[in-house]
Structure 1
């Protein structure tokens, strides 16, 4: 028997949550390993943080489940961790280097020479295994929640509250979309050094499954209009994240073949 629309929507939602729970971890670890956060655009993280704050306020005002609000708080804290890493490692680099080296670019100070990358096939298999594991975790969480969750839906908000939630939703969508542009521009300067591909890979997976969870629940016009901001914020962001992954592939493929960017 096929999974019903509500169950399919819920399952995709749980998979999306699983993706977003781990999305920050690769970049946080990358920053720790390199002892630098200079691969990230500060504006990218700041605007992403503002988007997460709007998302948190919307979840709180809509009286969503406590787990949803807790996850929104978790996103915000992870953004703050990334910001802390960027400025901490800058401070650390400035105090570690001699005075005459302070004039060199921060990225050159902080990042080690590019390392020999693993084979594309091994990288693809590693990321595929990670995706399968995260998807399986999300499906397992959905199954456990499906059998034990007896919670009631939140009460319908007032008209004024609905407008407030919509404003926050569209603000969040615009911020999520706008956050990628500074990072894409920075990548032309840094050649994507210091960026973790898994950050954007899991973001794409999380946004796609989130969009699919909305559409799977219903395709009625009024429902889609109500959720248009969340659909736009998640679906359109995928395009920019694919652009970042394309930049990574381009620069790393040229690096692996020994081709300089000025050739």
Structure 2
């Protein structure tokens, strides 16, 4: 039974990795297409970066798999790319003597691209993306099973290292949770303009798969306590990410209703 749980846990872990590999891409592309990063809260990205750095250092100290360490470094790099985009486009806009909100307002004047896409189309897109991510995750899991080598016993970490890893794990969890708050607040100001919902959609799927992979491996009390910080950071963040998605669809429906009202007035 444990072997079956270990396989299922491993498969969910690979699905989570597949999500996190592509999670940043939609927002990076959104910033590039708008030539603006103003849809993102700077505090959101900075605190998320701090959480990823804590995660990276913890993975190195805990002597986790090289793939886990590489992914943690990749997350940090993507956070830095988002920060560079935000300040680069601000600097570029300053040189052009434009208002800070101009790119977002320009997008609104021409019609928000998201509002032009029907809800049915969005559902189909995200369903297809979900199937793709699960397919890639399962395929990667199958390949890893066929190529995995016998584990080499590693040295047991000292008590100091264990405590340091736990502190870093909880610090990372607090950062992941805290990072969403400034973004939620900013969304009330920007109405989610310039924000890619795919960023939070893939984050939700990735965090759910990661949390379930931990629980599927073992329900032993000591094991769950050891991994409590990673469970908290993943599972609780899902709730806040759903709030962000709720904001996006609320403001999207609001924009559609306003557009329909203006269209009716023009006809009249």
**2:30 touches 2:195 (CA, 8 Å); kept in 1?**
yes
5 Å matches for 1:194-209? 194-209=194-209
- TM-superposed deviation, 1:151: 4.6
Does residue 1:215 correspond to 2:209, yes or no?
no
Does residue 1:108 correspond to 2:107, yes or no?
no
Distance in 2 separating the partners of 1:150 and 1:71:
20
**1:35 touches 1:110 (CA, 8 Å); kept in 2?**
no
Aligned with 2:101: secondary structure? helix
Deviation per residue, 1:82-120 (Å, 9 max, x gap) = 0000000111111123xxx5xx4x223555224242100
Does residue 1:178 correspond to 2:149, yes or no?
no
Q: RMSD between aligned alpha carbons?
A: 1.7
Deviation per residue, 1:128-166 (Å, 9 max, x gap) = 101110111011001100111115264321111110100
Q: For residue 143 of structure 1, what is the aligned residue in structure 2?
A: 142
Runs in 1 of length 4+ with deviation above 3 angstroms?
Answer: 108-111
Does residue 1:34 correspond to 2:34, yes or no?
yes
Pair 180,159 (structure 1): closer, same or farther in 2 beyond 3 Å: same
Aligned residue pairs, count: 254
**1:51 touches 1:172 (CA, 8 Å); kept in 2?**
yes
TM-score, length of structure 1 as denominator length: 0.93
Distance in 2 separating the partners of 1:39 and 1:230:
28
TM-score, length of structure 2 as denominator length: 0.91
Aligned with 2:258: secondary structure? coil
Q: Would you tell me which structure has more helix in proportion to its own residues?
A: 2
Report which stretch shifted further, 110-119 or 202-211. Answer: 110-119
Aligned with 2:116: secondary structure? coil
Distance in 2 separating the partners of 1:203 and 1:180:
12
Distance in 1 separating the partners of 2:196 and 2:150:
38
Structure 2 spans left out of the alignment, 5+ residues = 261-268
- TM-superposed deviation, 1:65: 1.0
Deviation per residue, 1:190-225 (Å, 9 max, x gap) = 000000010000000000000000000000111110
Q: For residue 126 of structure 1, what is the aligned residue in structure 2?
A: 125
Structure 1 spans left out of the alignment, 5+ residues = none
